[in-house]
Amino acid sequence: MILKFLLVIGVIAVVYFMFIKKKPTLNERKKDTKEKEEIQSNEMVECVECGIYCEIDDTILSNNKYYCSSECLKKA
């Protein structure tokens, strides 16, 4: 009796994993790789004006250039 029950559970599991479970599509795979390529928040960038390195969260982005402060942005 228990053997039949385990056999039925096994067949259901095989059918589920082979046919019903959604496999990741090609678009989802590309999305995952794009997320890995994006700039991380703890990455350091160089200020164009004074040359110091700051975390990317603390910088000001203007014309695709990073500035450490508004004073450096005004100088440029």
Name the percent of the chain in helix, strand, coil, to the closest 5.
55, 15, 30
pLDDT at 76: 79
User: Where do the domains of the chain lie?
Assistant: 1-38, 41-76
pLDDT by 10s per residue, the chain, length 76:
889 999 999 999 888 888 777 666 666 666 655 555 565 567 889 999 999 999 888 899 999 999 999 999 998 7
* Cβ-based neighbours of 45, under 8 Å, separated by 6 or more: 53, 54, 56, 59, 66
Task: Judge contact between 60 and 67, C-beta under 8 A.
Answer: yes
Q: Which CATH number applies to 41-76: 2.50.20, 3.30.60, 3.30.70, 2.60.40?
A: 3.30.60
Through-space distance between the first and last CA atoms of the chain, rounded to whole angstroms: 81
pLDDT at 25: 62
